[in-house]
Structure 1
Amino acid sequence: MPVPAHPSPVRPALLRHTVHDRLRDAIVDGTLAPGEVLRDAELAAWLGVSRTPVREALLRLAAAGLVRTAPGRSTAVAEIDVAEVRDAQAVVAGMHRLAVAEAVGRMSEADLGLMRDAQERFAAAVAAGDTDAALAADDDFHAVPVATSGNRAIAAVLDQFNPVVRRLERLRFASEAATESVALHQRLLDACERGDAAAASEVSFRTWQNLADLIPPDPEPDPDTDQQETP
């Protein structure tokens, strides 16, 4: 699918992050399809920004595996690599478990209030079948323990690998399995409110580990290609 012809300007606030998020979401939802060539001038015109934040966003997306860039050649949306998705999902699940384990003892009533609000919005979005709103609320929900943990290494790792698993999240939240995510969120929130770090971290891990069920199996090897000639 080509870059949309109609402009979609980005607001000036936090421009660098917003451009990255808009391009990431366009890749995840299929607006920018796997294999599509990405030209920074076209993307800049679509988003109503200069080419600099677009180039920076493409570099971040390349580091996350959503974009492929070869020196002296074109930049394109990456095809889905099953092995990379599986690796990223495992890392993300582990990092969220660690973040929650470190955050529970530090959570204030304000932090818990942010999680409650995000959970209400998440449940409402799932009930309404609004996948975009569910993704946004899910981001806000899980961002609280990551921020509260104060562990910048966790935040950096998640910033790199979360975009890869976002395709899986979209599939899950668009399916009947989304209702299970609502229940898991509530269990996580309840454990945080009780101050039970062990229970909360395990529920968090299960929440993200469930995405592994959506990863397609590795393709079957082609016997004609793999067969070696006998001398």
Structure 2
Amino acid sequence: MIPTPAKPRILRRARLSDQVFDWVLEAIRSGDYGPDDLITEPALATALETSRTPIREALFRLVGNGILTERGRGYCLPLLSRDEVAHMFHTRLLLEADILRQIPDAPDVTALRAASEAEKAAIRGDAPRDFIAANTAFRRALFDLCANRFLTEIADHCNDRMQAYRSVTLAEGANRAAVAEDHAAVVAALARGDRDAAAARYLATLDRAQVAYKAMALPR
């Protein structure tokens, strides 16, 4: 009989580390952490009521994935250089244009429409957090319409690495309104089976975001 290794504690810690990783990543995507926020092991241990070991493992993974960077006694969202932002937008345009092309002719836009409506509801207000969460939900619902999970996972990763800037570029109500209008048009185009129109409007949003990023005082 082949013995079964008894490693429940290690496996449990691994699962807990994955849960912490997912929780922090979701908090980043939802706009709970901005570029000036410091994420620390003690604060997460208190918030999640767990030991610091799985938290440390999760944070190391996030650093390895380029989503966080070390700063002093904690971690923060990385600030990309001007060239890195340009390269990231170039990559996003290629990936997300292909995602739009692979969406089926008659997709179910229920989740996409709900996210679009949430964006509209979050336009007003001083804090962009609610809009960032709705914007993330819209992008996720859009990517879910594409069957190529390899493609959407890479696109997700690119978006995660740019998260630090969304609280800045979406701080203005006018920017939020423009994005919400574009995304509503994307939903309408997909609902009537016009992928070309949906792609054109969605990519126009990316182009405008790229201009906004270039206007920021980014390091070279």
Report the TM-score range of the alignment, normalised by the length of the smaller protein. 0.7 to 0.9
The amino acid across from 2:139 in the alignment is H
Return structure 1 stretches of 4+ with deviation > 6 angstroms.
Answer: none
Change (3 A) 1:100 1:57: farther
The CA deviation at 1:22 is 2.9
The amino acid across from 2:62 in the alignment is R
Distance 2:123 2:68 in 1: 26
Map 1:122-201; keep pairs closer than 5 Å.
122-175=119-172, 176-201=174-199
Distance 1:205 1:214 in 2: 14
Percent of pairs with identical residues: 16
Give CA-to-partner distance per residue, 1:152-210, whole Å, 9 cap, x none.
12222123221222233222221122211111111111111111111111222222222
The CA deviation at 1:17 is 0.9
Change (3 A) 1:63 1:84: farther
User: What is the aligned partner in structure 2 of residue 45 from structure 1?
Assistant: 46
Q: Secondary structure at the residue paired with 1:177?
A: helix
User: What is the aligned partner in structure 1 of residue 76 from structure 2?
Assistant: 77
Count matched residues: 199
Q: Note if contact 2:44-2:55 (Cα within 8 Å) is conserved in structure 1.
A: no
The amino acid across from 1:48 in the alignment is E
User: What is the aligned partner in structure 2 of residue 5 from structure 1?
Assistant: none
**After the TM superposition, which of the residue ranges 152-161 and 211-220 deviates more from structure 2?**
211-220
Q: Note if contact 1:99-1:154 (Cα within 8 Å) is conserved in structure 2.
A: yes
User: What is the aligned partner in structure 2 of residue 92 from structure 1?
Assistant: 92
Higher relative contact order (CA 8 A, sep 6+): 2
Q: TM-score, normalised by structure 1?
A: 0.71
Give yes or no for the alignment of 1:18 onto 2:23: yes
RMSD: 3.2
Distance 2:60 2:106 in 1: 35
Change (3 A) 1:116 1:68: same
Change (3 A) 1:59 1:122: same
Map 1:21-36; keep pairs closer than 5 Å.
21-22=26-27, 25=31, 27-32=33-38
Q: TM-score, normalised by structure 2?
A: 0.74
